[in-house]
Structure 1
Amino acid sequence: MAPPSESRSEIDKQLSFALYGAVGRMIRMHKPLLEPLGLTFPQYLVMVELLGGSPRTVGDLGAKVGMDTGTITPLLKRLEQSGLVTRRRDAKDERRVLVDLTPDGEALRERIRAVPDQINSACRITDEKANEIRETLDEMGRSMEA
């Protein structure tokens, strides 16, 4: 019998393929947790960031969650229409738009903060293992940017 690495197809040996599949599965795992909150996965990422401190500029939010202005602006408009955030021009610099949580957005804090534990549980991994995976992925990202 061939060792496991030899019996795998060429695509199955690719780290990028494993990561691509894992990303898709991870986003799909979030869907039933986020639907009751009325959030898509990208909206969830923005809400997590805003719960960490707001108001924030559109540019800062986009940079933090890896979205350009053309992607994050319509997403923020939908969050605003849902009553979860407000957008307003910065009085000090009218070119900047500040995004802040509404009371309804703030009210989702505990439910949003519960999602990572629910994901870890569904994946059957501990917080420590999740941290280890995240650190490895962050390290890979930093190496690729260097």
Structure 2
Amino acid sequence: MIKTYPLNGSDRDLIEAASAKIRDLYEENRHHVGAALRTSSGKTVAAVHIEAYIGRVTVCAEAIAIGKAISDGEKGFDTIVAVKHPYSDDEDRALKVVSPCGMCRELISDYAKECFVILNVNGETVKTKIGELLPYKYMRDS
């Protein structure tokens, strides 16, 4: 079981920033995930994922948000969240907080070992440290 922390007002604002970004830019088969990143300086950076017909070319929203923040000179990251927009044929029309994929977990951990990640655990939206989602990263035998 991972250690979780309750959300605060800034975390809810971050979820809303990711939600607003994907609501505004959603395009079927192009963009269906939005992410928002709060930097250590307090800046919020939001982005959408870029879908490609060849899956390995697709770039996740979290990676784009991290790249955008770094390109703007930000170096420290506090919290990140991703929100999925329903596809046009989904019955459930609600936006949902989603957990980062494995590659995004690696990227988040590489750039911010203490970063919080907002996700759903057992139906509850909470946050945890990236290390909880990627334990024992790059351990070497002693």
TM over 0.5: no
Which one has the bigger helix percentage? Answer: 1
Q: Max radius of gyration: which structure?
A: 1
Which one has the bigger strand percentage? Answer: 2
The TM-score normalised by the length of structure 2 is 0.28
